[in-house]
Amino acid sequence: MKVTTGQRLQSYIKDPLVVFIAVLGILPLLSSHHFYLQMLTLVFLFAFFSEAWNIISGFGKQFSLGHVAFFGIGAYITGILYADYGISPWIGLALSGVFGILLALLIGFATFRLRAFFFTLSTIACAEALRVLFTYWRLGSTGLGTTIPAVNGLGNLTFSHEIYYTYLAYILLLTVVSVTYRITKSRIGYYLFATGGDEEAAKSLGVNTYRIKLIVFAISGFFTAIGGGFYCMYMRYIEPCMVFAVDFSVQFAVFAIVGGLGTIAGPILGSVILIPLSTFFRSWIGGLFTPIGFLIYGIILVLIILFLPGGLMKGISMMKDKIAQRISSRKE
Amino acid sequence: MEIFIQLIINGCLTGMTYALMALGLSIIFGTLGLINFAHGDFIMLAMYGGFLISLCSGMDPYLGLFIMLPVAFVLGIALYRFLFKRLIDAPEESHIIATFGLSFVFQYGAMLLFSAEYKSVSTDYSANVFHFWNQYIDYPHIYGALAAVILIALLISFLHYTNTGRAIRAVSEQRRGAMMIGINVHKIYAIAAGLGLCCIAVSGVSLITFESVHPTIGPHFNLLCWIIVVLGGIGSIPGTILGAIIIAVMEMMVGYYFEPALTTFAYFVMFLAILMIRPSGIFGVKERRA
Amino acid sequence: MKRAFVNLVVITIACLVSLPIGGFALADAGSKSVKIGVILPLTGPQAPIGREVLRGIEVAADMVNDMGGIWNKQKISLVTGDAANSESARTETERLITVEKVKLLIGVYSSSLAFIVHPIADKYNVVFWETNAIADRLRQMGHENTYFFGPMARGWGSQAADCVVELIAPKLEKDPKELRIAVVYQGTEWGKSLSHDGFVKRAKELGLNVVIDAPYDPNTMDFSSLILKIKRTNPDIVHTQNYLDDGYRLFRDARKNGLNPKVWIADGCPWAYVDEAFQKFGDDMNFVLDLNQVAGGNIWNLSPTTQSQYREFLDRYTKKYNIKAVAASSDVAVGFTSAMALFEHVLPAAGSLDPKKIAEVVNDLSLPSTATARPGGIKFAPQSDPVQAGQNVRAGVVARQIFNKKYYTVWPKDSAEIEAIFPIPPFGKRAFDDKDLKMLIQ
């Protein structure tokens, strides 16, 4: 039975993920309040990073805690090329992506044959090593920080109104979500799930797990690096300790986990909920009580792992099933 | 030449400090297989513990161990029962994430309780330096190294000459096998957790005599300890000690002969290199889990 | 049916996101108060100092309010933002400006954060009053409404070099060019600015012999190898720039490894004021020379009004925060003096928070060193200046030597309380009796 375009369109519209993303796309238009838009930019951006991380660590189960390495490299390449050499940030972003791929291949080559946890540890070590290296290098040059000149224009990826950044971040998110979706439906995705599920079994079935992991890691690195370049143009100032901070790696992971590891909507959900939440704790409760907010954050994390490892997406699908059950039992 | 000797001496002493820090991790990871990413924060809390006891009683922190050790042991058992037990059979990522959450709780909890200032303890011997042949060694580090040596000796005797100790070793090598010969694995895990926390307590107390504590110092210690444990080989206490000393000496050498700003970079690179060549670490056992 | 449910959940969540944020729009228009924003690191690694600066500003606001407030009996109301890291610095500054609608910001202490915060204030045409000394480049970014109350790194570093020539060399009875100087500093924007671009550069101009120029990673745990490297160069003077954590470790490792120069200059020594440091190192803190941008406890050469104002500040600080202010930490004094200068000398004359009015007042401002506990006095360079736009050009530093938990100004000559004592005894032999102080004033 052939599926017509009309039918396919219909199924897309009914797909909750599509609705979710569409709603997100409308959010920036709901208010022109600057703070609101800025928060949305961060929400979209971190959802983007979390999605990219999720591809290798959620679907592939190769738990990386050093993704900030790609982020930082991307930020620096775009930043330095623009600030010091006047090269358009768009080209910078593309180059950042390329370096993201190269770095991923390098790290993967060195560590993918190791046992899972050693891989994680190595990613942390790599990211930290890069941080120290960049600190050392930038120290010797004109100054530790790099300032991005503020010359507005699409060509310079610099805008006076926040909403452009918000929608650019949204486009980035759309891109990574579509790519992720395509992967899950493709042969690579098939192999990836096999690898993630049980690597030994997959290998025995003839899957070249090493190659698959490298490809997916490279894709993840590519996106993360581009995002890093965007972040640099957004913040307009970078320093090694800022863009190689382990906090980013942690955030990418936490958003995906809380939202639902290994799902497409999970990272987005995590970002949508946790970023406003932490801003709330810092800005509104504020002062001496800020630590309480983050303490609760930590407790939530522990509880989620213990009682709901599938994250919020699992929670939602469990509720969905319960309701469906109740409806069908009432029918009887 | 005498600088070289000074560097080696400093390296060994600092290495013993590192070894003391990593010991608790080695036991907990080696026996329970639990990946604890809050290890550094445990050390941080132990340091605060030592600080508080010293503050309230005026005693030397080492004497505070009489209180801290039993508390640590009980805490270890409690942690096992309520948290670690559930995590052990979960996938490794769960260990990492859950202990991350714990790390947040500890860090921000400490910030609430102690505020963000740097605290430390000053003892009678804090300033004393042992001076011979143009070499300088300070007493807090000497005592720290001594504490490490005593603890290690006690641990090794415990593990080799007592039944419980042997049971711990059995469980860490082959869990199912151990179960089959009637060892109560849960009890052993609990004891190992308690033991691990005791080591952390000793380390914290030793560190506070020459280091300042602050709620956010955990993550740095954490990475260091993990590198040491993996480098030395999981489940091997001699490996942990050797790994610690190697890293410390390397830091000294690179810092002096090459570039102080790159010492951490150097040991990261070394760590990665060794992992590639010999993934199980220096003294590690090839296959672990049952 | 199931799909609809999930869609519903999803949309609810998306709305829940917008809600708290939309609710921000209700920023209250405080009628009788003047809202002034304060952006500082209040949590995170720089929090100890950030909070001290805030306390100084709060005391200044209290004092002004108790005297009736400003303009038409309006009280100053401070709204704080927490710049814990770069991202929060950005969001908090935006929040203060766009949600709380402040028209003037005081802050931000950290050079790295300033690079993020200043452009935002500039974007919204909000006046920014920078309290501390921060990296020089920030004056060259074209921000027309940003004023820098504290000295520039270059100026600070240069003065340190001048101090070596004017004060230290004569005391050591040596030609300054014979002295071997080791320079150690934190590898950060400020550290490099001050030590390398300021001190070393000026030292070389003066023909001084810098034997080692050593930046280090702020996260370093063990400084032994660095100390040994410095020892090898056999320095007469060690000049350090640190922050709290690394400052403690460096000093500890210097003591441990027997680095005993004839003079120890701790530039902008933040770790000496904390009670903690005296607790840790005891008598070994004596004789250390601190170069700083506040006069600290030394107020004898200020005008009577300024003196009594400063004493009142110390009094209130001790009472309000329950802290024993020995000489008041440098940073709380920085916060206080910066805010006081603004509340007392700028705002009343300006009549409002309008950037143009404030600019007029600031440009005409000229106060001698007796008018504020910040050494040098107050006079701002015009915003058109290519190198130091908006900079308080009179801001400078004084050198103070530490004895038994107190600071005594020793340089420049006209501010000196006591005679400096050089060379200094080695570690372990620095017990000092206050009887041996050579007072220069009564």
Domains contained in chain A, CATH given: 5-331 (1.10.3470)
User: Which one has a higher pLDDT value, C37 or B55?
Assistant: C37
| Contact by Cβ (8 Å): C34, C77 | yes
pLDDT at residue B290 tops 50: no
Exposure of A194 by Cβ count < 10 A (0-12 exposed, 13-18 middle, 19+ buried)?
middle
Mean pLDDT, range C187-212, rounded to an integer: 89
Average pLDDT of chain B is: 85
Decide if C187 and A144 are in contact by the 8 Å CB cutoff.
yes
Q: Please report, to the nearest 10 degrees, the dihedral formed by the alpha carbons of residues B40, B45, B50, B51 taken in order.
A: 110
Decide if B97 and A254 are in contact by the 8 Å CB cutoff.
yes
Encoded amino acid at B55, one letter: L
pLDDT at site A286: 61
The whole-angstrom separation of Cα A95 and Cα A92 is 5
Mean pLDDT, range C6-22, rounded to an integer: 59
Chains touching chain A through at least 3 C-beta pairs below 8 angstroms are: B, C
Least confident range from A162-171, C26-35, C59-68, C398-407: namely: C26-35
Percentage of chain A beyond pLDDT 70 is 93
Least confident range from A50-54, A161-165, C7-11, C65-69: namely: C7-11
Q: Over the stretch B148-203, which tens digit does the pLDDT of each residue have?
A: 999 999 988 888 888 888 888 888 777 777 778 877 888 889 999 999 999 999 99
- CATH numbers and ranges of domains, chain B: 2-277 (1.10.3470)
Residue B243 exposure: Cα atoms within 13 Å on the Cβ side = 33
- How many residues belong to chain A? 332
pLDDT at site B128: 67
pLDDT at residue C48 tops 90: no
In which band, very low, low, confident or very high, does the pLDDT at B249 lie, cut at 50, 70 and 90? very high
Q: Which residues contact C302 (CB under 8 A, 6 or more apart)?
A: C295, C310, C369, C370, C371, C372, C373
The whole-angstrom separation of Cα C267 and Cα C164 is 12
Decide if B251 and C222 are in contact by the 8 Å CB cutoff.
yes
Q: Categorise residue A306: left if φ over 0, alpha if ψ from -120 to 50, beta otherwise.
A: alpha
In which band, very low, low, confident or very high, does the pLDDT at C211 lie, cut at 50, 70 and 90? very high
> Which residues on C lie below 8 Å from B219 (Cβ)?
none
User: Which one has a higher pLDDT value, B85 or C298?
Assistant: B85
Decide if B101 and A294 are in contact by the 8 Å CB cutoff.
no
SS3 assignment, position C242? coil
In which band, very low, low, confident or very high, does the pLDDT at B256 lie, cut at 50, 70 and 90? confident
Q: Does C307 touch chain B (CB under 8 A)?
A: no
In which band, very low, low, confident or very high, does the pLDDT at B125 lie, cut at 50, 70 and 90? low
| Contact by Cβ (8 Å): A298, B102 | yes
Decide if B3 and C258 are in contact by the 8 Å CB cutoff.
no
Q: Over the stretch A288-313, which tens digit does the pLDDT of each residue have?
A: 666 777 788 788 888 888 888 778 88
In which band, very low, low, confident or very high, does the pLDDT at C86 lie, cut at 50, 70 and 90? confident
pLDDT at site C23: 46
pLDDT at site B45: 94
CA distances from B264 to A326, C184, C219 (A): 58, 19, 9
pLDDT at site C21: 52
User: Which one has a higher pLDDT value, A251 or B117?
Assistant: A251
Mean pLDDT, range B229-243, rounded to an integer: 87
CA distances from B21 to B48, B193, C11, C404 (A): 15, 15, 49, 35
In which band, very low, low, confident or very high, does the pLDDT at B21 lie, cut at 50, 70 and 90? very high
Percentage of chain C beyond pLDDT 70 is 88
pLDDT at site B288: 46
Decide if A31 and C22 are in contact by the 8 Å CB cutoff.
yes
Average pLDDT of chain A is: 86
pLDDT at site C22: 44
User: Which one has a higher pLDDT value, B281 or A287?
Assistant: B281
Q: Please report, to the nearest 10 degrees, the dihedral formed by the alpha carbons of residues A43, A47, A48, A52 taken in order.
A: 160
Round to the nearest angstrom and report the end-to-end CA distance of chain A. Answer: 33
Tell me which range, A70-74, A207-211, C350-354, is most confidently predicted by mean pLDDT: A70-74
In which band, very low, low, confident or very high, does the pLDDT at C42 lie, cut at 50, 70 and 90? confident
| Contact by Cβ (8 Å): C369, C307 | no
- How many residues belong to chain B? 290
C window 210-249, beta carbon within 8 A of B: 214-217, 219-226, 228-229, 232, 244-245, 248-249
pLDDT at residue C433 tops 70: yes
Helices A265-279/A290-307 angle, 10° precision:
150
* Chain centroid offset of residue A124 CA: 17
Q: Which residues contact C81 (CB under 8 A, 6 or more apart)?
A: A283, C37, C38, C39, C40, C92, C93, C95, C96, C107
Q: Over the stretch C262-309, which tens digit does the pLDDT of each residue have?
A: 999 988 766 655 567 777 788 888 899 988 887 655 677 788 888 888
| Contact by Cβ (8 Å): A56, A46 | no
In which band, very low, low, confident or very high, does the pLDDT at A120 lie, cut at 50, 70 and 90? confident
| Contact by Cβ (8 Å): A112, A119 | yes
pLDDT at residue C25 tops 50: no
| Contact by Cβ (8 Å): C330, C270 | yes
The whole-angstrom separation of Cα C163 and Cα B91 is 62
Q: Does B250 touch chain A (CB under 8 A)?
A: no
In which band, very low, low, confident or very high, does the pLDDT at C329 lie, cut at 50, 70 and 90? low
Percentage of chain B beyond pLDDT 90 is 25
ipTM of predicted assembly, 2 dp:
0.84
Least confident range from B151-155, C111-115, C412-416: namely: C412-416
Decide if C226 and B141 are in contact by the 8 Å CB cutoff.
no
pLDDT at site A208: 87
Q: Over the stretch B127-143, which tens digit does the pLDDT of each residue have?
A: 666 676 667 777 888 88
- What is the phi/psi pair of residue A73, to 5°? -60, -45
User: Which one has a higher pLDDT value, C117 or B282?
Assistant: C117
Chain A nearest-CA residue for C92: A283
pLDDT at site B178: 78
Decide if A287 and C88 are in contact by the 8 Å CB cutoff.
no
Q: Over the stretch A231-276, which tens digit does the pLDDT of each residue have?
A: 999 998 998 888 998 889 988 988 998 888 888 989 999 999 888 8
Residue with the two structure tokens 């924007």: C189
Percentage of chain C beyond pLDDT 90 is 35
Q: Over the stretch C337-393, which tens digit does the pLDDT of each residue have?
A: 999 999 999 999 988 899 999 999 999 999 988 888 888 889 999 998 888 899 999
pLDDT at site C5: 59
Q: Does B180 touch chain A (CB under 8 A)?
A: no
User: What residues does B117 pair with on adjacent strands?
Assistant: none
| Contact by Cβ (8 Å): A201, A125 | no
Q: Over the stretch C231-240, which tens digit does the pLDDT of each residue have?
A: 999 999 999 9
CA distances from C409 to C296, C331, C375, C377 (A): 9, 17, 11, 17
Q: Categorise residue C405: left if φ over 0, alpha if ψ from -120 to 50, beta otherwise.
A: left
CA distances from C119 to A45, C124, C419 (A): 22, 9, 44
Residue with the two structure tokens 């936490």: A254
Which of C224, C249, C255 has the CB atom closest to B10's CB atom? C224
SS3 assignment, position B251? helix
CA distances from C387 to B253, C57, C80, C391 (A): 42, 28, 31, 9
pLDDT at site C219: 74
Q: β-strand C406-411 against C180-186: which pairing, if any?
A: unpaired
User: What residues does B131 pair with on adjacent strands?
Assistant: B136
> Which residues on C lie below 8 Å from A135 (Cβ)?
187, 217
Which of C187, C228, C276 has the CB atom closest to B261's CB atom? C187
In which band, very low, low, confident or very high, does the pLDDT at B242 lie, cut at 50, 70 and 90? very high
Exposure of A272 by Cβ count < 10 A (0-12 exposed, 13-18 middle, 19+ buried)?
buried
Decide if B219 and A246 are in contact by the 8 Å CB cutoff.
yes
Chains touching chain B through at least 3 C-beta pairs below 8 angstroms are: A, C
In which band, very low, low, confident or very high, does the pLDDT at C9 lie, cut at 50, 70 and 90? low
User: Which one has a higher pLDDT value, B261 or C155?
Assistant: C155
> Residue B130, Cβ neighbours under 10 Å: how many?
12
pLDDT at site B289: 44
pLDDT at site C11: 61
* Chain centroid offset of residue C304 CA: 25
The whole-angstrom separation of Cα C92 and Cα C24 is 13
pLDDT at residue B2 tops 70: yes
> Which residues on C lie below 8 Å from B119 (Cβ)?
276
Mean pLDDT, range A190-197, rounded to an integer: 86
Chain A nearest-CA residue for B85: A306
